[in-house]
Structure 1
């Protein structure tokens, strides 16, 4: 029966239990996740709605950025240069150049920083992206 009489009362769970069939698992109410994953061919720039052969869009203005990251097409060095180059000061430019020159750029200062960040990220899983960035900075040193 689809209709419950004890809706919005403490007895609703008991009524659901009494109306369910014995020995049967309850139907799930989970989220449907699409099995589709983007491939590099799907996110090629020539298929983009903003594509212009003479003037390719800058990565900081790209509308397909999330899909390109998922497909693994986006190179971090190119993205950093395109997004931050216009507003970089000389000190920031020097640090970014040094960071991007390394073979394996590290976003964490140490393994301890990585452990602290993953520990707090799992405990505070509902944080917005802005708060996650602040959490990343606050977990850099043990004293913070």
Structure 2
């Protein structure tokens, strides 16, 4: 059985506040995972801790009204609505492109560190993720 639907079902059915609880519930269903494996799966599924409970965060609202600016030689700056930068950073980290070194997200701004010779390529990738700009 694919674990992703089970993980999402458990998160919807129970107020899970920590990964240890989720690991125990998965073990009760016959699936033994390490914490690091679970953490990677949660990240890939777009699951975050919101108001003390793990939940899947929809990314669609995050992708609206994002301004992308270059800060050569190796930085992209994304501006979004207040409160959406961290979700946007997670989305970008979930589908990195070669040359993308890392992200740093605040409240309404995401900085993407890029290898200097890959700035245009990473910017194009980010714009595709944001809806084909």
Tell whether the structures are fold-level matches, with TM greater than 0.5: no
More strand per residue: 1 or 2? 2
The structure whose RCO (Cα within 8 Å, separation 6+) is larger is 2
Query: TM class, shorter-chain normalised?
Result: under 0.3
After TM superposition, the score normalised by the length of structure 2 is 0.22
After TM superposition, the score normalised by the length of structure 1 is 0.21
Q: Which has the larger radius of gyration?
A: 1
